[in-house]
Structure 1
Amino acid sequence: MIVADLLAEDTLQLRLHTPSSRSRLECRISWCAPIEVMDPTPFLSRNVLVLTNGIGMNIDDDRTWHAYVERLAHVPVSAIAFGTGAAHRLLPKGLVKAATALDVPLLEIPRAVSFLQVHRHITNVLQAERFAARTRSWELAEACSRHAAAGSSFRTILAEVGKSVGCPVSVIDGGGSVIAQWPATSRWTDDDLRQAAVDDDERVVPLPMGGGDSFRLVVRGSERDEPLATLLAPAASIMAVQLRSALQTTSRKQPQLGALLAQVPDWEGVARQEFARTFRSTGLDADQPTYVIAAVLTEGDLGSVWRIRLVLQEAFGVLQITVRDDVIFALAQRPAADDPDGTGQPLAASLAARFRTVAPHQAAVLKGPCGSVDELRLGLHEAAGLVHQVTGPVVAAELGIGSLLAAAASHGACAGARRLLAPVLAYDEEHSGHLLQTLAAYLDSDCRPARTCRRLFIHRNTLIQRLRKLESLLALRLDTLEGQTVCLMALRLCQGQPHTLPAGPPGARFGA
């Protein structure tokens, strides 16, 4: 119900005494408040209609009327309905003058119409509107629930909301960035987003995320009569659940995807044939090249991951997503275009560039295309390790030492690594030495003696003596690239054997 609707009601016989603007006459009435005090603002809420007879307001000074209306305009109220005949035969000129200056609609309630009649009419209309709005809101929520149950995308649900309100809608994150919009061709300017970030009116509906993330549903230019907050509240709850859960429910093959990721690092226990069978059970095509994307999930910053997810939805015809250990993994096939930006770059590089545009600080790794199951396993292994070392979107190298180690681990290399390091372990245990720790620090310091000494807090002569002893036990030269590489691979292969390697400095874990 708006002020103009009240004026159009013939039974109330209300008259407008101010040249109010169209926007003020279209202001929605939230409730009506009969009140007869000079400062009613402590008892009023936004857009309430003030009903008053002006009892006790025998005021001759126009400045007092201006102060009265100014307080009401600050609330703001939707209008003032002033009853004549009880305390004032006519509307006070000072009141009319102040309401005109401050653009507050001033309505006269004639003597023949009681306040009770006005109050009852407004109450009945508002209750009818709210009942109709609740009915429509649950119908919209039911439609959104059907889409969610069918596994539809988040944009499908957003489209349902947009069609219901009949205007463009978007979801923005806490930073004011758009992560989804309907229709796809709509444009949201900086002014739109800035207004949505500061407004507390009904065009902005917060999504109850239940965590550190903040998302809002923004409506632009709705023509609907009911309050949008009432219409959209149930749907907003469904959208909040989708935003949090749909990151890992793009596919109905969650158990199979989880099993696939669990098998990746078990090179000795899971053979190639078993891994291939698990891969096929996910519903992906083993004959199609597969792209691997890994991104870190950070509480309070789901918006960045969502923007990456939406980029992937547009770029690939097949997309399987799951979450493991706070990392979101996406397996993508059937790209819509091999060169979507027309730059001549490989698809992975083009996607990384888009990621850096929409989420520059999101830790994400792209790997691919992987043309075989073996390549895919190596790609998943490398992406899972690299994603915790980057601070933004990157493309993994075609070949890394992590991939080499992973491939070697399935061919008895771990046993060979343990045998190579066994003399060093035995010497340390017998002599309470620090040879293995020294070897780890030396390799982690790029085989630079000065850096190694600073890391271990030892003299250079002590380091030289330990290195000579290591060469004797390992039967390798540590001043050659081949000897250094063999030792580095042996230590990293044994990284997953906590019973084999004692605790050492950060370099001994070889996460660097």
Structure 2
Amino acid sequence: MCKSGTVDALPTLTVADLVAVPELGITRAWIPDPSVPVRWVATSELDDPTPFLEGGEVLLTTGLATAAHGAAQWRAYVGRLATLGVSALGLGVGLTHDAAPQPLREAAAGAGLGLFEVPPPTRFVAISRAVAALLEPAEQAAARLQRELTQDATRPDARSRVTARVAQVLRGACAVVDPDGAVTDGALDLDPDVLASALVRIRADDRRSSTSISGPDSSTAVHPVGLGGTPRAYLVATTPGRWSPFQRSAVLTAAAVLSLVESGRAEQRDAERRVVAAGVRLALDGDAAGASRVLDLARPPRTVPDPLCALHLGGTPGAVTEAVDHIETGALVGTHEDTTVVLVDEAGIDRVVEAAQHAGAWVGVGPTVPAAEAARSAAGASAALAQASDARPVTRWAEQTRAGIGALVPPGAAAAFASEVLGRLRAEPDGTALEDTLRAYLEEQGHPGRISDRLGIHRNTVRGRIRRIDALTGRPVADAGARADLWFALQTTAPPALG
């Protein structure tokens, strides 16, 4: 029967509790599952009362609309009630029906719906009063649980206290997990792959939605923790069998109070982020001492890595935010030229890259440098990020410098530059010969004899072509800067090397 007392008594009013009340005089009942919970009582004489029900009610009727029902009609009537989740059907006998019709009993048994007869002396209002009286202890227990969970939420170890209390109520397990499914507080006995799949489903549908996992012997609910934005944690609760209303209320209350706790943590986290970002700005300005003093104010205190590596994050704002959520506990995060920048020691580079990729963000990796040269690493990270794309989300400054200056310029810009520098030359009738001469001049370092031998032309012809090249490109090859421009333009359009 519905019990009061400690919250771990799982107070739930069941159909069996109701029909066992002596004052109701219920002697004929067919209850397939006595443990089905009862939320309230409803009365209806409609053939289809389901639009006015929520599920979990005991439905009382005298059968005025069902007097002529045959077996098929009873099956349809009962099927509608069972589908909605009505707890049981109470048929008042002595008016329309002298007893529960056999087709009704068979339909109820087939649908798994509890059925009982309400004898003539018993008024429907008496059943409503009995349910109210039986529910009162459960309501008191629910209110008491809410108070206790709220008190737990005020403690420093709020998450541990809340999950422990809910696990006791559920006679199961309860934990807070991070977005990857790792348990941070409490305990779980749940297949990690099943949980990971549920978290992926939540993120795919709506980051603030909840989901459930039903098994043959247990039920699990997953709720986001927090009041807005991308959840940083989830409450996972498991109970043997089906959920009772009291258990559902316990889990929802726990999710609510933990969300309030998380809101307070979010404010602290925002303040912490501002302190760390200020330290990052000072480090990038070359003021390592000032950065250290500011980072000492963080809780816990932080330090500037030495040596360090700067990484720039890019992509969609949502992806960058998610990446930062995973990264910031083990790195310094701030901004550089309106871009999110991360400072880590060399050992932390791979972790940042993996977190960024997992979140769908792009990342540019700068060189590892002494802390005093943080700005140089950030500049390299910025240049690397400029080359990132969905097809190539991770780019590294070191790889680009090995590939030459061409790797640092976007392909479109490089092609436009080459066209501007060499366009008039290529438009000449002998443009190919002029381009070959220019390439030979640069590769042979301007030596007339070697150029002549390489091209099989007279030295005077070489000199004449060079004068034309100077005029057509507007860049005299005798000038070192002009030679650099010409060489870059040629490399941008050079055919791929053979072999």
Q: TM-score range by the shorter chain?
A: 0.5 to 0.7
Partner of 1:348: 349
Give the letter aligned to residue 167 of structure 1: A
Q: Which among 368, 371, 374 is matched to residue 373 of structure 1?
A: 371
- Secondary structure of the 2:275 match is helix
Which whole-Å deviations, capped at 9, do the CAs of 1:256-292 have from their partners, x for residues lacking one?
A: 32322333554xxx54544454455542245877676
2: CA distance, partners of 1:190 / 1:398:
40
2: CA distance, partners of 1:217 / 1:465:
72
CA 1:288–1:170: 2 relative to 1, 3 Å: same
- Preserved CA contact (<8 Å) 1:202 1:227: no
- Is it true that 1:479 corresponds to 2:483 in the alignment? yes
- Is it true that 1:221 corresponds to 2:234 in the alignment? no
Give the letter aligned to residue 362 of structure 2: A
Give the letter aligned to residue 103 of structure 1: G
Q: What is the aligned length?
A: 414
Q: Per-residue deviation at 1:106?
A: 1.0
Q: Per-residue deviation at 1:100?
A: 0.6
- Preserved CA contact (<8 Å) 1:265 1:381: no
Give the letter aligned to residue 257 of structure 1: V
1: CA distance, partners of 2:73 / 2:147:
48
How much is the aligned-residue C-alpha RMSD, in angstroms?
5.3
Partner of 2:173: 167
Partner of 1:509: none
Larger deviation: 378-387 or 126-135?
A: 378-387
2: CA distance, partners of 1:89 / 1:185:
52
2: CA distance, partners of 1:379 / 1:101:
72
2: CA distance, partners of 1:443 / 1:322:
26
Larger deviation: 256-265 or 74-83?
A: 256-265
2: CA distance, partners of 1:326 / 1:396:
20
Q: Per-residue deviation at 1:48?
A: 2.0
- Secondary structure of the 1:49 match is strand
Q: Per-residue deviation at 1:371?
A: 8.1
CA 1:240–1:302: 2 relative to 1, 3 Å: farther
CA 1:26–1:89: 2 relative to 1, 3 Å: same
Q: Per-residue deviation at 1:103?
A: 1.0
Equivalent residue runs for 1:223-238 within 5 Å: 226-237=245-256
After TM superposition, the score normalised by the length of structure 1 is 0.60
1: CA distance, partners of 2:398 / 2:148:
51
Partner of 2:30: 18
Which whole-Å deviations, capped at 9, do the CAs of 1:9-38 have from their partners, x for residues lacking one?
A: 4444445643614xxx33332321111121
Which whole-Å deviations, capped at 9, do the CAs of 1:98-124 have from their partners, x for residues lacking one?
A: 101111111233334332121112223
Partner of 1:411: none
- Secondary structure of the 1:221 match is strand
Give the letter aligned to residue 221 of structure 1: T
2: CA distance, partners of 1:253 / 1:214:
16
CA 1:107–1:362: 2 relative to 1, 3 Å: farther
CA 1:185–1:57: 2 relative to 1, 3 Å: closer
Q: Per-residue deviation at 1:91?
A: 1.5
Q: Per-residue deviation at 1:480?
A: 3.9
- Secondary structure of the 1:113 match is coil
- Is it true that 1:29 corresponds to 2:38 in the alignment? yes
Q: Per-residue deviation at 1:459?
A: 4.1
- Is it true that 1:362 corresponds to 2:361 in the alignment? yes
2: CA distance, partners of 1:326 / 1:4:
66
1: CA distance, partners of 2:23 / 2:471:
103
Q: Per-residue deviation at 1:362?
A: 3.4
CA 1:361–1:211: 2 relative to 1, 3 Å: closer
Give the letter aligned to residue 348 of structure 1: I
- Preserved CA contact (<8 Å) 2:59 2:86: yes
Give the letter aligned to residue 361 of structure 1: G
Equivalent residue runs for 1:62-141 within 5 Å: 62-141=71-150
Give the letter aligned to residue 371 of structure 2: V
- Is it true that 1:452 corresponds to 2:470 in the alignment? no
Which whole-Å deviations, capped at 9, do the CAs of 1:387-416 have from their partners, x for residues lacking one?
A: 674558748556977xxxxxxxxxxxxxxx
Q: Give aligned-pair identity as a percent.
A: 18
2: CA distance, partners of 1:16 / 1:323:
74
Partner of 2:18: 6
1: CA distance, partners of 2:293 / 2:14:
64
- Secondary structure of the 1:258 match is helix
- Secondary structure of the 2:239 match is coil
Q: Per-residue deviation at 1:363?
A: 3.3
- Secondary structure of the 1:70 match is helix
CA 1:79–1:65: 2 relative to 1, 3 Å: same
- Is it true that 1:260 corresponds to 2:279 in the alignment? yes
- Preserved CA contact (<8 Å) 2:277 2:332: no
Q: Which among 47, 53, 57 is matched to residue 38 of structure 1?
A: 47
Larger deviation: 188-197 or 77-86?
A: 188-197
- Secondary structure of the 1:77 match is coil
CA 1:273–1:300: 2 relative to 1, 3 Å: closer
Q: Per-residue deviation at 1:457?
A: 11
Partner of 1:183: 187
- Preserved CA contact (<8 Å) 1:179 1:303: no
Give the letter aligned to residue 349 of structure 1: D
Equivalent residue runs for 1:139-154 within 5 Å: 139-147=148-156
Q: Per-residue deviation at 1:162?
A: 5.3
Partner of 1:434: none
- Preserved CA contact (<8 Å) 2:90 2:118: yes
Give the gaps of 5 or more residues in structure 2. Answer: 1-12, 203-209, 428-434, 436-468, 489-499
Partner of 1:499: none
Which whole-Å deviations, capped at 9, do the CAs of 1:422-463 have from their partners, x for residues lacking one?
A: xxxxxxxxxxxxxxxxxx9x9655996x65355799645699
- Preserved CA contact (<8 Å) 1:293 1:365: yes
Q: Which has the larger radius of gyration?
A: 2
1: CA distance, partners of 2:305 / 2:360:
34
CA 1:398–1:453: 2 relative to 1, 3 Å: closer
1: CA distance, partners of 2:35 / 2:174:
21
- Secondary structure of the 1:29 match is coil
2: CA distance, partners of 1:236 / 1:30:
22
Give the letter aligned to residue 98 of structure 1: A
Partner of 2:5: none
1: CA distance, partners of 2:211 / 2:282:
45
Give the letter aligned to residue 362 of structure 1: A
Q: Per-residue deviation at 1:136?
A: 1.7
Give the letter aligned to residue 53 of structure 1: T
Q: Per-residue deviation at 1:69?
A: 0.7
